[in-house]
Structure 1
Amino acid sequence: MENNKRIRILDVPVDMVNNEQAMEIFKGLMERPGCDLIVTPNSEIVLNATRDEELKMLIEEAGLIIPDGIGLVYASKIVGEPLRERVTGVDFLNSILAYLEETGKSVYLLGSKPANEERPSVAALAGENMQIKYPKLKIAGTHDGYFKKHQEAELVREINESGADFLCAALGAPKQEKFIYEHRQEFTNIRAGIGVGGSLDVWAGTVKRAPKFYQDHGLEWLYRFAQEPSRYKRMAQLPLFMIKVLAKGKK
């Protein structure tokens, strides 16, 4: 991290990294004691951090903050410190899984929907599909995202007993980031945790990732909106984010 530059968008830090540089930082986190938080902010998360002091604080203290949303790339140009490129959480997770397989380290998958009569939990399904792509990947354990606050101590115990080295939490932002940050000192073997949003659903096959055209042009948000019009309130955050960035201008 010493050689990496962090820029600020609406006074929220973001690492100026490409995927390769982000992976080098990640590998360093996995080799040092303690549990570091990896954050994958998009425009909505950055905007929320301007209103949520706890969220902003944990982003400030994160070991790695990758520029996930295309809105951050545009905003970085407006503030006069252009990001090298966008590093999507889904693609970054792919790189992480390949590294974990190569090094023999294990991952715990936490979040999304529980099992029902028709299928296993989304986390379990995601784990099965991850092992199809990465046959030697060690899935230390899985747990759905439907748990109460008073159950978190037991969940942390289960994660610790699994021996997992890395934690993927798909609880939705900012709950997933706050969960990792709050319990970071309780984890005995986890070296880093990342909030992955809907990535487990994509891995499980319960949600389709946007086609490549949308990915290449930073339009995943438009594809998701077309699939789920009920997301309109969240989509409304995007123009508000850009208005605030334009209003603030360069440093």
Structure 2
Amino acid sequence: MPTVSVTRAGLADMMVEDCVRARAAAGQVPPKLVFSSNGQGVSLAGRSREFRDTMLEAAWIHGDGQSIVIASKLTQAPLPERIATTDFFHDAAQAAIEHGLSFFIFGGSEKQNAAATDAIGRLYPRLKIAGRRNGYFKPEEEEAICAEIRESGADVLWVGLGKPLQEEWSVRNRHRLGGIGWLKTCGGLYAFLCGDAPRAPEWMQRFGLEWLFRTMKDPRRLAWRYLTTNPHSFYRLLVHTRRRPIER
């Protein structure tokens, strides 16, 4: 998957630029899809051509997992740093405040979504929150949900439905969301924001062991996932990483 070689600050600048351009277009262009790449996603893309094609619909894919950054060292265009969505959110919030952009918080349970939105308000009282909605809905409700999001005037829609649902939802509904600059998938971001899930120590993140920390905290849910995806993603990163930069 083509992964943008940029810093967290640089990606935040790209967000601002894309959102300002979307405002100027007055709803005439669809939002840009911004997805993240990690070990789970690499493994899933290797097993599902459908998911791989969905990922390739993104305007930007950033290296969310440390394994992606490590693999990039094999190339002529190594990634300057890991852009974990849980960290990038704070860069994005600061940039949004400086440029008057607004966020819509979509996904998670009602309790978690509300708690995460409250936490954002405490962390960034000057940040504009255009609206929020939980991630539980019926397929026939998607059009009304998109109308609610579009009418909120949000610049960035954070989509926290988990892989692969959030990527599939974003591709399926982007034509209904003209005027929004970014659809940014965010996985478990809300759990971290509201304190349901602690971050791994800095040294574990640096050595690509955040998955181990998370597994120790929630072995019943995560042990099988990481035992099956980690070896597969390691193989794919080793064998299929392109050495030369991709021209876009």
Residue of structure 2 equivalent to 1:71: 67
Specify the alignment match of 2:42 in structure 1: 46
Number of residue equivalences = 234
Alignment-derived partner of residue 108 in structure 1: 104
Contact 1:80–1:250 (CA under 8 A) maintained in structure 2: no
Unpaired stretches in structure 2, ≥5 consecutive residues = 23-29, 244-248
Matched, 1:241 2:238: no
Note if 1:204 corresponds to 2:200: no
Check if 1:87 corresponds to 2:52. no
Offset at residue 152 of structure 1 (A): 1.0
- In structure 2, the CA distance between the partners of 1:106 and 1:213, relative to structure 1 (3 Å rule), is same
Kindly provide the amino acid, as one letter, of the partner of residue 109 in structure 2. Answer: K
TM-score when normalising by structure 1? 0.86
Alignment partner, residue 25 of structure 1 = 14
Is residue 232 of structure 1 aligned with residue 232 of structure 2? no
2:129 alignment counterpart:
139
Identity among equivalent pairs (%): 32
Amino acid at match of 1:85: E
Distance across 1 between alignment mates of 2:95 and 2:77: 30
| CA drift at 1:200 | 0.8
Between the aligned partners of 2:236 and 2:52, the Cα distance in structure 1 is 17
- 2:47 counterpart SS class: coil
Q: Note the C-alpha offset of 1:74.
A: 2.1
* Structure 1 stretches lacking a partner, 5+ long: 1-11, 115-120
Q: Does the residue aligned with 2:89 lie in a helix, a strand or coil?
A: helix
CA displacement at 1:76 relative to structure 2: 1.9
Query: When the two structures are superposed, what TM-score results if normalisation uses the length of structure 2?
Result: 0.87
Kindly provide the CA deviation profile for residues 44-76 of structure 1, in whole angstroms up to 9, marking residues without a partner as x.
102212333333223323222111101112222
In proportion to residue count, which structure has more helix?
2
Q: Secondary structure at the match of 1:151?
A: helix
**How much does 1:130 deviate?**
0.8
The residue type equivalent to 2:219 in the other structure is P
Moved more, 211-220 or 179-188: 211-220
Q: CA RMSD in A?
A: 1.9
Q: Would you say the 8 A contact 2:31–2:182 is kept in 1?
A: yes
CA 1:157/1:77 → structure 2, altered by over 3 Å: closer, same or farther?
same
Show the counterpart of 1:56.
52
